[in-house]
Structure 1
Amino acid sequence: MGQVITFGEVLMRISPRGKKKFIQSNVVEFFFGGTELNVGISIANFGGKVKHISVVSDDFIGDTAISYINKFGVSTSSIGRTKRPLGVYFFEVGAVMRPSTISYNRSHSSFSEIKPEMVNWQKALAKGEWMHWTGITPALSKNAFDILKAGLTLAREKGMTVSADPTYRSGLWKYGKDPKQALIELLELSTVFIGGINEMNEVLGTNYSYSNEDFIEASKQLMQKFPSIEKVFDKIRTSLNSSWHKIRARMWNGEHFQETEDLDITHIVDRIGTGDAFAAGLIYGLRRFDDFKAMKFASAACALKHTYEGDVNLTTVNEVMGILDGNTSGRFNR
């Protein structure tokens, strides 16, 4: 199969060890991640061919980030370098009723000041078969939006599948572009929608509820507004507290509605990147299975990500298939 192409910021995450707050500790650890990069690395861990496109700092931190990405087999040939620093975020892991807390330092990062001449889309997409985008990247700067739209336009001209996870975070959109209009322009170039009712309400200007009936109606309206979209997938999270969640998923493919059963995650290790793990599992699954099995694969991959520290899902295809076979006891594999 051809490459999966991801485009987005590479971030360094800094956290106190364990579930401590910063005020409790002077010992921290770091991880690399970023929404689209998390998707790409997860697909590479499943055995897929992936290229990540970005810009990182031209210093030893950028060198380390590229080495980290390379060790998973993700191509970094289209990652540029700049004198701006790598984006950073600080993360305190919550526990039980105490929520996790994030603070970002990315407003003048290497990626946020990306320029069109830094990305050669013809070269970057030469072996591409699938391109994935999220609503994080176009929110960061006008250039990031324009570059992403140019890449998606070429991807569609080449007949590539384009998956969209139009995550809307209002605090990121600060450069003047109307978020709703921006997402609409990008969704017009997309074929698979990975998002829930909130995202659909945002782009449709509607007020659908979370019920399955409203999900189906919202999906139908979304497909009517964006005729290129062929399938809609939604990950549903039920949070009992910071440490105990339930995950399930549902879909509408233009003909059928289907829903998975809940997966119980009773002792969360780290929930950062779990939505990215779902998207990665779905992309991997849709290229190999029918829609329902792909969605079940994505849900299991998402659930397993909750058991790994860091932003990236390190799980394998065999581990995901084990969950699909009902092996959720966590017993030793010998």
Structure 2
Amino acid sequence: MNKVLSFGELLLRICPDSAGSWLKENSFPVYVGGAEANVAAALALWKIPSAYMSAIPDNFIARQLLGYLDELNVDTSAMQYSGERIGLYFLDKGKDLKNAGVIYDRKYSSFSELETGTIDWDKVFYGVTWFHFSAICPAINQSVADVCEEALKAASEKGITISIDLNYRAKLWKYGKEPVEVLPALVQYCDLVMGNVWAAEKMLGIPVSETLVEEHDKSAYLQQSQISSKAIMEAFPKCKNVANTFRFDHGSGIQYYTTLYTQEELYISKEYMADQIAGKVGSGDCFMAGLIYGFYKEHSPQEIVDFATSAAFAKLFTESDFNTTKLEDIKKVVQEYEN
């Protein structure tokens, strides 16, 4: 069946506006999300056999969410039923998840209470050829980090391709360990590592030039991307592909480009710039989905990074966590923003 299985916490994003109008109106937007669910939804939209695994309680809200995922053609047969609640996070409309204003409400969620020895990985991985997760999972607590390692060992033994998104969420790492103490043990199983050079420094101990941000020079960023990518591959021999994103805010606008290092060569995407966007949540997940799509379809490295970048940039013009831009519409959305 050649399914891509994404594993992570299914979340609800609640968006009260910063002005507080939601109090008078008694309403605010609620979006279904979670980094790995975002990847699964994008892949399903693009007609890739996509599956998603999380842990949810057995209640009417969870059943509604599963019905929604099923409507999107995301296979939820590996879902685990346990615990009593779904994780939440609160974020002002249009803000980024790295923003200091994000509020997490994920303690005691079903996913956070996962434990090793309770999941039948042979059953979960049946028909799966690609397994994706993110660094958000092991950020939750040690128990979930251990479950991640259990999953990675099982997937590796079955020869399943493994990818990770090194997304760093400072507000989640609260259980007494730094990311660099946890992530290397997990990344050793990965074939594809995606993130940015600063995340690689924070999570894997791959150093970045101290003057890089002050210089704000594209050629310096690209050089650092190649240096960091090579260092990751040397530290983790199973890794054969490293992708880095570069997204910079300019007022209400944004500048975006990416790289893919593979086969000892750095491939650089087109660069895009926009003065106004709809929202930042899920753009990196869409880039990750674009990479998986390209590798799944066995496209050339340049085609892979170009498609993933255009898909991620197009995602900036949708408000929901899930990508809603179809394959045939991506180019039309981004072409006027090419720099």
| TM-score, length basis structure 1 | 0.90
Matched residue, 1:181:
181
Aligned equivalents of 2:141 and 2:125: distance in 1?
22
Question: Which letter does structure 2 place at the counterpart of 1:228?
Answer: K
Aligned equivalents of 1:197 and 1:20: distance in 2?
36
Matched residue, 1:220:
230
Contact 2:18–2:92 at 8 Å: present in 1 too? no
Aligned equivalents of 2:171 and 2:18: distance in 1?
28
Matched residue, 2:167:
167
> 1:179 Cα deviation (Å)?
2.2
Question: Which letter does structure 2 place at the counterpart of 1:165?
Answer: D
Matched residue, 1:317:
327
Give the 5 Å matches for 1:224-235: 224-235=234-245
Give the 5 Å matches for 1:54-65: 54-65=54-65
Alpha carbons of structure 1 residues 293 and 81: separation in structure 2 relative to 1, 3 Å: same
> 1:22 Cα deviation (Å)?
4.6
Contact 1:17–1:27 at 8 Å: present in 2 too? no
Aligned equivalents of 1:250 and 1:151: distance in 2?
28
> 1:300 Cα deviation (Å)?
0.8
Matched residue, 1:138:
138
Matched residue, 2:215:
none
> 1:76 Cα deviation (Å)?
1.0
Question: Which letter does structure 2 place at the counterpart of 1:156?
Answer: S
> 1:230 Cα deviation (Å)?
0.6
Question: Which letter does structure 2 place at the counterpart of 1:215?
Answer: S
Matched residue, 2:90:
90
Contact 1:19–1:94 at 8 Å: present in 2 too? no
Contact 1:13–1:30 at 8 Å: present in 2 too? yes
The Cα offsets for residues 180-204 of structure 1, whole Å up to 9 and x where unpaired, read as 1310011100011111111221213
Do structure 1's residue 148 and structure 2's residue 157 form an aligned pair? no
Question: Which letter does structure 2 place at the counterpart of 1:286?
Answer: F
> 1:17 Cα deviation (Å)?
7.0
> 1:116 Cα deviation (Å)?
2.8
> 1:323 Cα deviation (Å)?
5.4
Root-mean-square deviation (Å): 2.3
Listed as ranges, the gaps of 5+ residues in structure 1 are 330-334
The Cα offsets for residues 59-94 of structure 1, whole Å up to 9 and x where unpaired, read as 111111111211111111111222421111112124
Question: Which letter does structure 1 place at the counterpart of 2:268?
Answer: E
Matched residue, 1:128:
128
> 1:258 Cα deviation (Å)?
2.1
> 1:299 Cα deviation (Å)?
0.7
Contact 1:234–1:250 at 8 Å: present in 2 too? yes
> 1:103 Cα deviation (Å)?
1.2
Do structure 1's residue 249 and structure 2's residue 258 form an aligned pair? yes
> 1:100 Cα deviation (Å)?
8.6
Select between 165-174 and 127-136 the one with higher mean Cα deviation: 165-174
> 1:267 Cα deviation (Å)?
2.1
Matched residue, 2:278:
269
Matched residue, 2:310:
300
Give the 5 Å matches for 1:1-20: 2-16=2-16
Paired residue secondary structure (1:52): strand
Paired residue secondary structure (1:162): strand
Alpha carbons of structure 1 residues 327 and 178: separation in structure 2 relative to 1, 3 Å: closer
Alpha carbons of structure 1 residues 204 and 56: separation in structure 2 relative to 1, 3 Å: same
Give the 5 Å matches for 1:84-123: 84-94=84-94, 101-123=101-123
Matched residue, 2:207:
206
Contact 1:91–1:100 at 8 Å: present in 2 too? no
Give the 5 Å matches for 1:283-294: 283-288=292-297, 289-294=299-304
Matched residue, 2:67:
67
Paired residue secondary structure (1:28): coil
Alpha carbons of structure 1 residues 268 and 101: separation in structure 2 relative to 1, 3 Å: farther
> 1:124 Cα deviation (Å)?
0.8
Listed as ranges, the gaps of 5+ residues in structure 2 are 213-219
Do structure 1's residue 280 and structure 2's residue 281 form an aligned pair? no
Alpha carbons of structure 1 residues 23 and 246: separation in structure 2 relative to 1, 3 Å: farther
Aligned equivalents of 1:270 and 1:169: distance in 2?
18
Contact 2:116–2:150 at 8 Å: present in 1 too? no
Question: Which letter does structure 2 place at the counterpart of 1:207?
Answer: V
Alpha carbons of structure 1 residues 207 and 187: separation in structure 2 relative to 1, 3 Å: same
